[in-house]
Structure 1
């Protein structure tokens, strides 16, 4: 069957997960801290640290101290990053082999131009059970430790931990080319260096100022991957939702309770009128096609999948099957 030429990304999965996706209109973005591959999402951080070390001799000591805060020697994947992976190749032997070990697998073709947003776990606007110290960094502080205030007496809020802030969420291709990776690393490093220098030379009072770039740079770093994985043609959504109590779910896994975020679509009565970029109820996922992995029973598999889609009212979703010959 002819492959779809539209702008789709293909999320490979097994039959059980596919049924859950269709029934609940959810895709799960897993915590970066619990990835199966221990080197996943670390390649960019490793390269950034190496570039930092190469530049260290030419930097002033106060700039080095500032950069150490954002480019740590000990690397770890952020537990605040959540990743959903797909591929630009909808009929990949590499991916079929990975997901089709024990049963037939599927590739869900998603419209990459339709946004996916986090599904709220709770509807409350403030933490229902805040832990000790939850509000410690909420207010700006004077040098004597007292909460800073405006002339009218109201406190200076630096960061409200219950404020909704969702970053990322777009499909972006993983970068395998070493030259492109080097360009990303240099760009990130220069932005960090300039930011640190600006904070050092700022004439503003020495109060804490929230600087988002060091946190947002992780999106570019997380796209860097070893060229040996090029066959995967990976595309991924990386998302950072705040507050975590509102968006983070948990499921049992081999490494403990794994945090994850449910991604869905907006639309209808669930329209995001406030621009907060999250959903309170699942919306229909932008599934345009589902491809069935290699199987000797392709016609039967197509018929059963078509039946399931009809049961869910997904009559416009195309069904196809892999063109790769089945090998037992």
Structure 2
């Protein structure tokens, strides 16, 4: 709040040891099933297999940065695992943060655009994961690539109209989609977190910073920084701050004073309703 910033950490250093790796496993299973089902031409399934096995795809996963949030603002497991029983839950208006994309919480889960930064719902059910991955793989990017290629040629007319360049551009586009896709697939054991994620890549924010956490170095990128603008415009879209079940009674008053000193004078402050005693 002091810097009016949020940080997204590199996916390969997050708490889940299988982070991203789990999603790659689902991706491989989906490709294998599509091959067995003859749902795609052989050359297309070979194309997807080649991408997943490529060094470029592996490298892209290391350049994936994630800001995690939960749709549950008063979860005992979240307080215990991430706030040490005496932390805070900061409520953010997602639709005003970087993107107008928000997770679809009704009916069957859908995945919004996978080529630009945005909020993605984390999928925990293995069957739903396979369905969504197959859906992405079945949708050809050819039309989108033709549009992108046309715009590129208009901007840089000196580029040779080479088939190899078009294929290279298409491969890069597909890697970008799969990179974000696997980032929102997690092991079912984490389903109680009810997580949504804002996913960015080095392509979106090439400036990487480093911080120390629990004896290890964590690469991160800054997602929101409006330094130099009017104080009211610098603020993050924070709507509430909820304190953990075990905090002292006067904490809400102190938090309110802190918020006002930083320009957040319209933020709702309250305390967890969970009757927990450590």
What TM-score comes out, normalization by structure 1 length? 0.63
1:144-193 deviation line (CA, Å, top 9, x unaligned): xxxxxxxxxxxxxxxxxxxxxx953322321223342222111122236x
Match of 1:96 among 66, 79, 100: 79
Q: For 1:232 and 1:315, locate their aligned partners in 2 and report how far apart those are by CA, in whole Å.
A: 29
For residues 183 and 324 of structure 1, the distance between their equivalents in structure 2, rounded to whole angstroms, comes to: 36
**CA distance, structure 1, for counterparts of residue 210 and residue 26 of structure 2:** 31
Query: Does the alignment pair 1:223 with 2:189?
Result: no
Aligned to 2:133: 185
Shift of 1:285: 0.5
Q: Distance in 2 between matches of 1:218 and 1:46?
A: 13
Q: Distance between the aligned counterparts of 1:68 and 1:255, measured in 2? A: 37
Task: Write the distance in 1 (CA, Å) between the matches of 2:54 and 2:270.
Answer: 48
- Is the CA contact 2:92–2:240 (under 8 Å) kept in the aligned structure 1? yes
Greater Rg by CA: 1
Shift of 1:235: 1.0
Residues 1:79 and 1:266: Cα distance change in structure 2 (over 3 Å): same
Corresponding residue number in structure 2 for 1:84:
67
SS of equivalent residue, structure 1 residue 264: coil
When residues 263 and 243 of structure 1 are mapped into structure 2, their CA distance, relative to the original with a 3 A threshold, is: closer
Note the residue ranges of structure 2 that are not aligned, 5 or more in a row: 100-113, 147-160
How many residue pairs match? The answer is 238
Match of 2:163 among 206, 214, 221: 206
1:154 maps to what in 2?
A: none
Aligned pairs (5 A) from 1:43-58: 43-56=22-35, 58=38
Deviations 1:115-142 (A, max 9, x none): 238xxxxxxxxxxxxxxxxxxxxxxxxx
In the alignment, is the contact (CA less than 8 A) between 1:309 and 1:315 conserved in 2? yes
Corresponding residue of 1:327? 277
Q: CA deviation at 1:236?
A: 0.9
CA distance in 1, matches of 2:8, 2:247: 32
Report what 2:259 is aligned to: 309
Alpha-carbon distance in 2 for matches of 1:306, 1:171: 28
How far did residue 214 of structure 1 move? 2.7
Matching of residues 153-164 of structure 1 within 5 Å: none
Q: Distance in 2 between matches of 1:37 and 1:187?
A: 26
SS at match of 2:139: helix
Take 1:81 and 1:175, find their aligned partners in 2: how far apart are those partners?
17
Show CA shifts across 1:267-296 (max 9, x none).
Answer: 9948xxxxxxxxxxx921101110001115
Which residue pairs with 1:68 in the alignment?
49
Shift of 1:33: 2.0
| Distance in 2, Cα, partners of 1:73 & 1:49 | 13
> Which residues of structure 1 form unaligned runs of 5+?
1-21, 118-165, 271-281
Residues 1:318 and 2:268 aligned together: yes
TM-score calculated relative to the size of structure 2: 0.73
The whole-number CA distance in structure 2 between the counterparts of 1:296 and 1:265 is 30
Question: Does the 8 A contact of 1:44 with 1:185 survive in 2?
Answer: no
Question: How far apart are the structure 2 equivalents of 1:177 and 1:61?
Answer: 28
Alpha-carbon distance, 1:64 to partner: 5.0
Q: Which has the higher helix share?
A: 2
Q: Does the CA contact (< 8 Å) of 1:41 and 1:224 recur in 2?
A: yes
Task: Identify the match of residue 113 of structure 1 among 61, 71, 95.
Answer: 95
Question: What is the CA RMSD across the aligned residues, in angstroms?
Answer: 3.2
